[in-house]
Structure 1
Amino acid sequence: MRYTLLILLFSLGSGVLFAQRATVSGLVAADDGSPLPGATIGVSGSSLGAFSDADGSYSLTLDPGTYTLQVTFIGYANATEEITVSAGQALTLNFTLTEGFELNEVVVSGSRQPERITESPATIETIFSREILEYAGNPAELVARQKGVDYFRAGLAAPAFNIRGFNSNFNAKNLQVTDGRFSTLVATGLPFGPLNTTIKEDIEQVELILGPNSTLYGPNAHNGLLNTITKDPRQYQGTTFTLNPGVTGDGDAFFSARIRHAQVLSDKLAFKVTGEYTTGTEFEWADSVFIDRVGAVDTLGNPIPDGQAEGYEELELDRDVEFLRGEFALHYDPSDKLNFKLAGGMSNSTYLSPTNVGRNQIKDWQVGYLQLKASGNHWFAQAYYTSSKTDSTYSIDDRTKQYYRLLDAGFSDAEARGPLSYASGALFQDASNRLNTEFQYYNTFGQLKVVGGVQYQLDRANSRGTYLLDENEDDFIEVSQLGAYAHLTYDFGGGWRGLAAARADNHEIYDFNFVPKLGLLKIGEMGTWRLTYGQGIAAPTILNMFGNLFGGLILGNAEGFTLADGSMVEKQRVEKISTFELGYRGQLKKSKLFLDANAYYNISRDFLSPVTVVGVTTERGDTPIEEVQAAFGTFGGLVATYINFGEVNTFGADFNLTYYFQPELSAYVNYSYFDYSVDEDNTEENDFNGDGVVNFLDILVNAPTHKVGAGLNYSGDKWFGSLFGRWVQEYDYFSSFQIASRSYPDLVYRGRPIIEDARSADSYNYGPLGGFVTFDASVGYRFSDRVTLSLAANNLFNTELREFTASAPTRGLYTLEFRVNLPPRRAK
Structure 2
Amino acid sequence: MKKLSILFILALTTVSARAQLTIEGIVTDESEQPLAGVAVIIRGTKIGTITQPDGRFVLPTTESLPITLSVSFIGYRRQDVAVRGNNFRSLSVKLMAETITTDETIVAASRVIEDSREASVTVQKFGPEQFRQSPAFTPFDGLQNATGVDLMTQSILFKSVNLRGFGSTTNYRFLQLTDGMDNRSPGLGFGFGNVAGLPDLDVERIELVAGASSALYGPDAMQGLLTTTSKNPFTHQGLSAQVKTGMNNVGKAGFGPNAFGDVAIRYARELTDRLAIKLNIQHVSGTDFVADDYTDRSTRERSNFFVTSGFRGNIATMIGFIPDTNPAGNLQYDGVNTYGDDINNGGAYTFPANYANASLQNKLVTRTGYTELALLGNNGKVFNNRANVALHYKLPGNTEASFGWYYGNGNLISTGNSRQYFPDYRRSQFKAELRGDNFFLRAYTTQQKAEGWSIGQTAVAINNDWKPLNQWATEFGQVYIDNKVSVGLARNEADRGRYLPGSAAFMAARDRFTSTYNTDSLPGRSGQVGTRFRDNSALWHYEGMYNLSSLLDVAEVIVGGSVRHYALNTGGTLVSRQPNGSEYTIDEYGAYMQVSKKLKIGSTLAVKPTLALRYDKNQYLQGSFTPRLSAVVIAGVHNIRASWQSAFRNPTPGELFGGALTSEGREVGGLRLAATSADGISKPVYQEADVTDFLANKLTETQLLGRAYKPGNITPEKLETWEVGYKAVIQNKLSVDAFYFHSKYTDLIRVQRFYQPLNDELDDLQRNDNRILAIHTNSRNDVFVNGFGVALGYTIGRGYTLSGNYTYQVGTVTLRDAQGAIVNDNAGFPISQRKMSNPEVVQKGRNYFNSPESRYSLSLHNARLTDRLGAAVTYRWTSQMWYEQGVTAGDVWLPSWSSLDAQVSYRLPAYKSVLKLGGTNLTNRYYAQGYGLAQVGGMYYVSVTFDELF
> What range describes the TM-score normalised by the shorter chain of this pair?
0.7 to 0.9
Aligned to 2:299: none
Equivalent residues of 1:293, 1:307 under 8 A apart? no
Residue 430 of structure 1 is matched in structure 2 by 535
Q: As a proportion of its length, which structure holds more strand?
A: 1
Aligned to 1:288: 338
Matched with 1:316 is 375
Name 1:702's counterpart in structure 2: 850
AA aligned opposite 1:718: R
Partners of 1:797 and 1:545 lie apart in 2 by: 46
2:754 aligns to what? 614
Q: How many residues get paired?
A: 761
* SS of match in other structure, 1:228: strand
Of 484, 488, 491 in structure 1, the residue corresponding to residue 595 of structure 2 is: 488
Which residue of 526, 540, 543 corresponds with 2:654? 543
Secondary structure, counterpart of 1:377 in structure 2: coil
* Deviation, structure 1 residue 134: 4.6
Alignment-derived partner of residue 388 in structure 2? 327
**Which residue does the alignment assign to 1:3?**
none
Contact persistence 1:107–1:114 (CA under 8 A): yes
TM-score after normalising by structure 2: 0.74
Amino acid in structure 1 at the alignment position of 2:783: V
Q: 1:492 to 1:293 in 2, by over 3 A?
A: closer
The separation in 2 between residues aligned to 1:618 and 1:722, in whole angstroms, is: 64
| C-alpha distance in structure 1 between counterparts of 2:19 and 2:569, whole Å | 51
d(CA) in 2 for partners of 1:639, 1:21: 74
Deviation of the 1:71 alpha carbon: 2.5
How far apart, CA to CA, are the structure 2 residues paired with 1:728 and 1:394? 32
Tell me what 1:507 maps to. Answer: 618
Name the counterpart of 2:151: 151
Q: How does 1:295-306 map to 2 (within 5 A)?
A: none
**Equivalent of 1:583 in 708, 719, 725:** 725
User: How much has 1:115 moved relative to structure 2?
Assistant: 1.2
What per-residue deviation string (whole Å, max 9, x for no partner) do you get for residues 492-549 of structure 1?
2121111011101111111211000111111232131111111011111112212312
Pair 510,62 (structure 1): closer, same or farther in 2 beyond 3 Å:
farther
Which residue of 2 is the match for residue 674 of structure 1?
Answer: 809
Sort the Cα spacing of 1:498 and 1:473 in 2 relative to 1 into closer, same or farther, 3 A: same
> Counterpart of 1:554 in structure 2: which amino acid?
E
Q: Contact 1:216/1:503 (CA < 8 Å) preserved in 2? A: yes
1:425: Cα distance to partner?
A: 5.4
Mapped to 2, the partners of 1:474 and 1:357 lie a distance apart of 26
Q: Is the 8 A contact 1:126 1:206 kept in 2?
A: yes
Moved more, 137-146 or 217-226: 137-146
The answer for the alignment partner of 2:406 in structure 1 is 345
Q: CA contact under 8 A between 1:73 and 1:104: conserved in structure 2?
A: no
Residue 558 (structure 1) aligns with: 671
Aligned-pair distance for 1:573? 1.0
SS of aligned partner of 2:257: coil
SS of equivalent to 1:144: helix
The aligned residue for residue 735 of structure 1 is 885
Structure 1 residues 68, 376: CA separation in 2 closer, same or farther (over 3 Å shift)? farther
Task: Confirm or deny that 1:657 pairs with 2:792.
Answer: yes
Q: What does residue 562 of structure 2 align with?
A: 455
Contact 2:127 2:205 in 1 (8 A): yes
CA deviation vs aligned residue, 1:126-173 (integer Å, no higher than 9, x gap): 111232245461222211111111123333222222100012232111
Contact 2:347 / 2:460 at 8 angstroms: preserved in 1?
no
- CA deviations 1:186-214 (Å, max 9, x no partner) are 01221231432411110010111110111
Shift of residue 456, structure 1, vs aligned partner? 0.7
Residues 151 and 162 in structure 2, CA contact (< 8 A), matched pair in contact too: yes
Q: Identify unmatched segments of 5+ residues in structure 1.
A: 1-13, 625-633, 738-761
Report the 3-state secondary structure (helix = DSSP H, G, I; strand = E; otherwise coil) of the residue aligned with 1:568: coil
Secondary structure of the corresponding residue to residue 457 of structure 2: helix
Distance 1:201 1:192 in 2: 19
Tell me what 2:444 maps to.
384
- Equivalent residue letter for 1:612: Q
Residue identity over aligned pairs, in percent, reads 23
Measure, in 2, the Cα distance between the counterparts of 1:682 and 1:46.
61
Alignment-derived partner of residue 794 in structure 1: 920
Deviation at 1:118, TM superposition (A): 0.6
Shift of 1:437: 0.6
Q: CA RMSD in A?
A: 3.4
Deviation track 1:216-262 (CA, whole Å, cap 9, x = no partner) reads: 11111110111101101111111111111110023011111110001
Q: Paired residue for 1:364, among 424, 446, 455?
A: 424
* Larger mean Cα displacement after TM superposition, 20-29 or 122-131: 20-29
The answer to whether the 8 Å contact 2:513/2:532 transfers is no
Give deviations 1:534-580, integer Å, cap 9, x for gaps.
Answer: 10111111122123122852232232443335531433211111111
Please state whether the residue corresponding to 2:191 is helix, strand or coil: coil
Q: Which stretch of the first structure deviates more once superposed, 45-54 or 270-279?
A: 45-54
Q: Is the 8 A contact 1:448 1:490 kept in 2?
A: yes
Alpha-carbon separation, structure 1, partners of 2:713 and 2:60: 56
Partner of 1:406: 465
Which amino acid letter does the alignment assign opposite residue 467 of structure 1? Answer: L
CA contact (8 A) 1:503 1:515 kept: yes
Partner Cα distance (1:94, 1:615) in 2: 78
**1: distance between equivalents of 2:46 and 2:821?**
49
Paired position in structure 1 for 2:332: none
Preserved contact between residue 687 and residue 698 of structure 1 (Cα < 8 Å) = no
Cα distance between partner residues in 2 of 1:225 and 1:671: 20
Aligned mates of 2:943, 2:197 — CA distance in 1: 20
My pick for the range that moved more, 654-663 or 402-411, is 402-411
Partner SS for 1:469: coil
Aligned letter for 2:883? Y
Q: Contact between 2:170 and 2:191, CA under 8 Å: does it hold in 1?
A: no
Question: Does residue 823 of the first structure (1) align with residue 829 of the second (2)?
Answer: no
Query: Which range moves more in the overlay, 402-411 or 572-581?
Result: 402-411
Moved more, 25-34 or 151-160: 25-34
Preserved contact between residue 75 and residue 663 of structure 1 (Cα < 8 Å): no
Which residue of the other structure, out of 266, 269, 273, is the alignment partner of 2:272? 266
The 1:782/1:806 distance shift into structure 2, 3 A limit, reads: same
Summarize the alignment of residues 207-222 of structure 1 with structure 2, pairs less than 5 Å apart.
207-222=207-222
SS at 1:699's partner residue? Answer: coil
Take 1:144 and 1:463, find their aligned partners in 2: how far apart are those partners?
33
C-alpha distance 764-698 of structure 1, shift in aligned 2 (>3 A):
closer
Within a 5 Å distance, the mapping from 1:5-84 to structure 2 comes to: 24-44=23-43, 49-59=48-58, 69-81=69-81
